[in-house]
Amino acid sequence: MRVYILRHATAEEAASSGDDGARKLTDRSKEKMRGAAAGLRAMGLKFDVILTSPLVRAAETAEIVAAAYENTPPPQVLPALATGVAAAEAVSALRPFSKHEDVMIVGHEPQLSAVASIMLAGAADVAHIKLKTGGCIAIDLPARFDRGGGELRWMLNHRQLRTMRK
């Protein structure tokens, strides 16, 4: 199975309500993310499931990716991908999706880097990865979401993803 870990695109500094979870993507970052999503598609990637944090900026990012694939599949909210949830808990919440070949998760730092570290090295603090906004990591897993044993296939930032669309 292959897991694609995508950090949300750049969000506004503060939501009008003051709620961090309500922060939306900027218009400029939406456009950049559309290009990155087109790059993912041009690379020939397909997703059986797209899972997203419930926070607005991640959900909007997941919707942009899904739109590049004509909303097949549509994004599904997975509460364990929200900020403040431990990476180990997020990995546990992903296990029911292990029947799929290609799974994309969309969320936040530092949780996503810690999830990648768990998949690659078995613990959240072993592999030190810094995933930039709009960046994506591809990890091959032996059979299911588990600790360690994953293989890093690639890591691209949003600019690199956008260049793939050409």
C-alpha span between 56 and 124 (Å, rounded): 25
- Domain 2-164, second-level architecture: 3-Layer(aba) Sandwich (3.40)
Residue 162 to residue 121: CA distance in whole angstroms: 29
> Is there a contact between 162 and 32 (Cβ–Cβ < 8 Å)?
yes
Identify the band that residue 90 occupies on the pLDDT scale cut at 50, 70 and 90.
Answer: very high
Q: How confident is the model at residue 45 (pLDDT cuts 50, 70, 90)?
A: very high
pLDDT in tens, 120-156: 999 999 998 999 999 999 999 987 666 788 999 999 9
pLDDT tens track for 46-86: 999 999 999 999 999 999 999 999 999 999 999 999 999 99
Supply the DSSP string of 94-135, one letter for each residue.
Answer: HGGGTTSSEEEEEE-TTHHHHHHHHHHHSSTTTS---PPTT-
pLDDT digits (tens, 9 = 90+) for 8-37: 999 988 766 777 778 899 999 999 999 999
